[in-house]
Structure 1
Amino acid sequence: MELRQLKYFLRAKELLNFTEAAEQLNISQSTLSQQIKQLEDELDIPLFNRIGKRVTLTEAGALFADFAFQSINKAQDGLLMLRDLHNFQTGKITIGVTYGLRYVLTPALIRFATQYPQIKIKVVFGTSEELIDKLNHLELDFALSFFGDIAVEKHFDYQNLFCSPMTVVTAPNSALAQKEMITLEQITQYPLVLPAKGYMTSKFVHDLFERHALSPNIAIEINDIPTLLELVKTGNWHTILAKTSVSQKDGLATIPLLGENMDRTAMIISTKEVYQKKAVKEFYRILHEEINL
C-alpha cells in the first residue's frame, strides 16, 4: 500500500468519476484505474462499485476513506516534523560526559541551548564505562571522555578534542600550592584523596605510580567528585586530576605533574552506523569553537 494509491483513491472517492479524478491528478485514467485496482487487490475487498461508466463507493470504501485520509495527514505531519528537525525547530540530543570534562561541555551547552531553544537536551554524567555501555545501547548521541579510558572499538568513531595535562590539585593556601611543579615521587609524601575504582582517572593515576614503582599515600577514595573537591579545599588532602577537571570557580590550585605520558586526550565518541543528526553536528561545531577560544 502506497501513499500515492491512497491519494488516488481519495480523489476518486471525492469526485466519483475516474476521468475527472485522473485529470486533476495529471495522470491517465488507465493509470488511476490500475492503481486503485492494485489497492483493492491488496485489501482483498472492492472500494468502488463500477456500474458501466458510473462509480459509487462501497461500504468498505466509505469506511476505508477515513483511515486513508488520516494516513496521508500523518505522513504530511511527519514530513513537516522532519523539515523542522532539519531546521533546528524540534528534536532532542542526549550527551554523555565524564565528570572531568564538565567544564569543557558547559560553555558549548549554554551557547547551543541559547541559539537553538527548540532543541531539547539531556546531559548524562557517568564513568567512561557507563557512557560506553549507554552508547552501545543507543541511549546517547555521543559521549565526551578521555582516550585510554576505554578500549578502542571498531563500531565507534573517535574525534580528538584536545590534550589536558595531569595536575596535582590542592587548596590555594596549602604548602603545595606554592610549588611551580611536582614529581610523582614528591607527591607520595602527601595524603591523597582519589576518585574511587570505576573512575578511569583513578586507574590512570594508580597505573602511573605502579609504572614508577611508587606507593602513594591514598587516604580516601570516593565516588563523588564534588565531595572530593570539597575535601581538597580543606587543605588536609590533595588529589590528581586532568587540568580540565578543575575550574577557577572551584577555588583550587593546580600544579603541573612532571614526567612522561602525563597528558590525557579528550575526545568525542559516537556510534558509526547511527544516523548523525544535524543538531549533533552543530553541537560538535560549537564545542570545537568554544575549546579553541
Structure 2
Amino acid sequence: MNVTFRQLKVFEAVARHLSYTRAASELYLTQPAVSMQIKQLEEVVGLPLFEQIGKRIFLTDAGSELHRYARNISQQLDEAREVLEEMKGIQRGRLNISVATTAIYFAPTLLGAFHKRYPGIGVSMDVANRETLLQQLENNEIDMAIMGQPPEELNMVADAFLYNPLVVIAPPDHPLARQKNIDPVRLADEVFVLREPGSGTRSAAEKFFSRRGVQLRTAMVMSSLEAIKQAVQASLGLAIVSTHTIKQELELGRLVVLDIKTLPIQRQWYLVHREDKRLSVVAQSFKDFMLAEASKLLS
C-alpha cells in the first residue's frame, strides 16, 4: 500500500475533527486540497474511509481501523522529532568508542565525567589492541578510538588530548632501583618483558632505545599489561609502561620507576576518527569535552 505521510497526516486530522473544514484550518490548507488528499488515499486503500449522512461525516469501519494506525504513526513521528531535538541539545543519544588496552586505566574516569555532564547519553566502550582498533576505524564500526599512536597510513583525524609518559619499571629490590640519572646504555644488559609486536608502547620504546644504541633484550612477550606488571614484580625482567597504568603499584610499593636519563618517553593519547566521518552531535560533544577537560580531570 503506497501511502504517503502527507496523506496520513491529512486523514488523521479529518478523522479527529470529523470535519474537512477544521482539518484544513489546522493544516493551513484549502478545503479542496484536503478533499483531494482524502480521495487519493481512498483510491490507494481501495475502500471508502468516510461516509456522509446529512451534513456530517463519519468514519467507515475501514476508516476507523486506518485512523488507529495513523494516530500511532503520528505519535511515533512526534516522539522521533522530540528525540532528535533533544539530541541537538545533547540530552539523548549514544556514543560508540574503542580504547587501547592501556587506556582502560583512565578512560572510565573520563567517560564517567562525561556521563555525569550528559546523563541521558548511553556509552558503549570496547577495549582492543591496536590492530583491532585500526580495523574498527577502517570499517567505520565506531565513532572514535582512544589510542597512543595514531595511524599514519590511513585517512584519520587524530587530536592529542593527554600526555602519555612512558617509563621503565622494576621491582623494588632491583640493583638499579636506588640509582639516579642512569645512562640508557646500562639497560643493554637487562632483559625486558615487552608487549606484542605492533603495540604502540613497544614500538615507541624500541625506537627510543635504538636511537641510543640499545637493543632491548626480550625475556617474555605478553599482550596483557596486568601480566607484564606481575612478571616485573616477580623479577622476570624490566618493562616499559605508561605512567597512567601503574599508580596503584607505585603507591603500594610493588614497583618502582627507574631514574633514567632522558626518560620518560613523552608521548600523547589521541582521539582518532575517520577523516570522512560526519560526527554526530554526541560524538562531537565528547570530542570537545575530552580536548577541554581530560588533562584537568587526570592531573
Please indicate the TM-score interval, normalised by the length of the shorter structure.
0.7 to 0.9
Kept in 2, the 8 Å contact 1:190–1:217? The answer is yes
Aligned length: 290
What's the counterpart of residue 273 of structure 2?
Answer: 270
Task: Say if 2:247 is the partner of 1:248.
Answer: yes
Task: Find the residue that maps to 2:152 and give its secondary structure.
Answer: coil
AA at the equivalent of 2:154: E
Report if the CA contact (8 A) 1:243-1:254 is conserved: no
Pairing partner for 1:280 from 278, 283, 292: 283
CA distance in 1, matches of 2:4, 2:182: 71
- TM-aligned CA deviation for residue 216 of structure 1: 2.3
Q: Give CA-to-partner distance per residue, 1:12-38, whole Å, 9 cap, x none.
A: 123433223323444210221233334
**Farther-moved stretch of structure 1 (51-60 vs 200-209):** 51-60
C-alpha contact (below 8 Å) 1:166/1:257 kept by paired residues: no
Please state how far the C-alpha of 1:221 moved relative to its aligned partner.
0.8
Partner of 2:19: 17
Shift of 1:132: 2.0
Provide the secondary structure at the position in 2 that maps to 1:281: helix
Q: CA RMSD in A?
A: 3.2
Pick the aligned partner of 2:141 from 139, 142, 145: 139
| Residue identity in the other structure for 2:232 | V
Cα contact 2:51–2:58 (8 A) shared by 1: yes
The equivalent position to 1:290 in structure 2, one of 269, 275, 294, is: 294
CA distance in 2, matches of 1:145, 1:24: 54
Q: Which residue type is aligned with residue 281 of structure 1? A: Q
Q: Could you say which residue in structure 2 is the equivalent of 1:101?
A: 103
Structure 2 stretches of 5 or more lacking a match?
A: none
> Aligned pair 1:91/2:93, yes or no?
yes
- State the Cα distance separating 1:256 from its structure 2 match: 6.1
Deviations, residues 242-268 of structure 1 (Å, cap 9, x unaligned): 444x33212233346656994333210
Separation in 1, partners of 2:265, 2:215 = 18
8 Å Cα contact 1:86/1:278 also seen in 2: yes
Report SS of the residue matched to 1:67: helix
- Choose from 66, 76, 79 the match for 2:68: 66
Classify 1:16/1:165 alpha carbon distance in 2 versus 1 (closer, same or farther; 3 Å). Answer: closer
> How far off is 1:185 after superposition?
2.8
The Cα shift of 1:58 comes to 4.5
CA distance in 2, matches of 1:260, 1:89: 44
Deviations, residues 41-87 of structure 1 (Å, cap 9, x unaligned): 55565534579976554444333222211111111121222234344
State the shift of 1:271 in Å.
2.9
Letter in structure 1 aligned against 2:136: K
Shift of the alpha carbon at 1:222? Answer: 0.9
- Taking the aligned partners of 2:179 and 2:243, their CA distance within structure 1 comes to 16
TM-score by length of 1: 0.82
Q: Name the amino acid aligned to 1:234.
A: A
The residue type paired with residue 170 of structure 2 is T
Cα 1:283/1:42, change in 2 over 3 Å: same
Question: For 2:11, what is the secondary structure of its paired residue?
Answer: helix
Q: What does 1:23-34 align with in structure 2 at a 5 Å threshold?
A: 23-34=25-36
Instruction: Assess if the C-alpha contact under 8 Å between 2:148 and 2:201 holds in 1.
Output: no
Q: Which amino acid aligns with 1:276?
A: L
CA displacement at 1:94 relative to structure 2:
2.4
Q: Following the alignment from structure 2 to structure 1, what is the Cα–Cα distance between the partners of residues 175 and 263?
A: 25
For 2:265 and 2:6, the matched residues in 1 are separated by 62
- TM-score, normalised to structure 2, is 0.80
- Whole-Å Cα distance in 2 between the matches of residues 274 and 37 of structure 1? 44
Matched-pair contact (CA < 8 Å) for 1:242–1:264: no
Alignment partner, residue 82 of structure 2? 80
Answer yes or no: is the 8 Å Cα contact 1:184–1:258 preserved in 2: yes
**Is residue 161–residue 294 contact of structure 2 (8 Å, CA) maintained in 1?**
no
What's the CA shift string for 1:174-220, capped at 9, x where partnerless? 23233444454321211211112342323343455556664322111
Separation of aligned partners in 2, 1:49 and 1:182: 95
DSSP 3-state at the match of 2:32: helix
Q: How does 1:178-217 map to 2 (within 5 A)?
A: 178-208=178-208, 214-217=214-217
Deviation at 1:104, TM superposition (A): 4.0
Compared with structure 1, are the counterparts of its residues 90 and 266 closer, same or farther at alpha carbon in structure 2 (3 Å cutoff)?
same
Q: Is the 8 A contact 2:169 2:256 kept in 1?
A: yes
